[in-house]
Structure 1
């Protein structure tokens, strides 16, 4: 029944991949495309761009805060002190490395992996 492309073939092996493509990736790429097309016409010093940047930064900060203070899944097994230490280390490395995001992410991962190595 894995070759059945009918409505009743929804239990087929390919269905989760098709669902991820249609419901997850496709809408994302549509908005990215529209953003690229319209970005050439925007003034990055305009109030609209400033508000958009502020909202995006706030959303990223909220997600990071949730991951540190209210984790779920496997992250909840890591003690708060390690999560907070990884965040502080990442921020310090970000500032010291002249705003290199990859260095900050790598340092936070090393803190967490170091804790796993000690446990």
Structure 2
């Protein structure tokens, strides 16, 4: 039988685990992206493809959250979820630089509709 390592039994183990298994694996890819992105042409077809794939993935996640809502969001009527999405998209279409504003306004519509109808 092996004796436990004192450090792993202490209160710091969750922080070490978070660092080893969550932060480091993702940070490595971020730093590599920074290094290799310097040599990329912004108008290259490959980068355009990456943007399109990222946009499609984001659209799929949003559609799943709106149409097949999980957890407490499922208690909000579909019409309210669709209205919140429509308002947020409208704000983005008016001014593409105000994405955060679109998110906040969309959330306000979602929460307001849930409270009003709930």
Q: Which residue of 2 aligns with 1:73?
A: 71
| Large movers: runs of 4+ above 6 Å | none
Higher relative contact order (CA 8 A, sep 6+): 2
Q: Which residue of 1 aligns with 2:7?
A: 5
| Shift of residue 34, structure 1, vs aligned partner | 0.8
Q: CA RMSD in A?
A: 1.9
In the alignment, the residues of structure 1 paired with residue 19 and residue 76 of structure 2 have an alpha-carbon distance, to the nearest angstrom, of 32
In the alignment, the residues of structure 1 paired with residue 39 and residue 107 of structure 2 have an alpha-carbon distance, to the nearest angstrom, of 38
Describe the shift of the 1:73–1:22 C-alpha distance in structure 2 as closer, same or farther (beyond 3 A). farther
In the alignment, the residues of structure 2 paired with residue 84 and residue 109 of structure 1 have an alpha-carbon distance, to the nearest angstrom, of 12
The runs of 5 or more residues in structure 1 that have no matched partner are none
In the alignment, the residues of structure 2 paired with residue 79 and residue 15 of structure 1 have an alpha-carbon distance, to the nearest angstrom, of 42
- Number of residue pairs the alignment of both structures matches: 112
| Shift of residue 4, structure 1, vs aligned partner | 3.1
TM-score, structure 2 normalization:
0.83
Q: Which residue of 2 aligns with 1:56?
A: 54
2:106 maps to 1:108:
yes
TM-score, structure 1 normalization:
0.82
The runs of 5 or more residues in structure 2 that have no matched partner are none
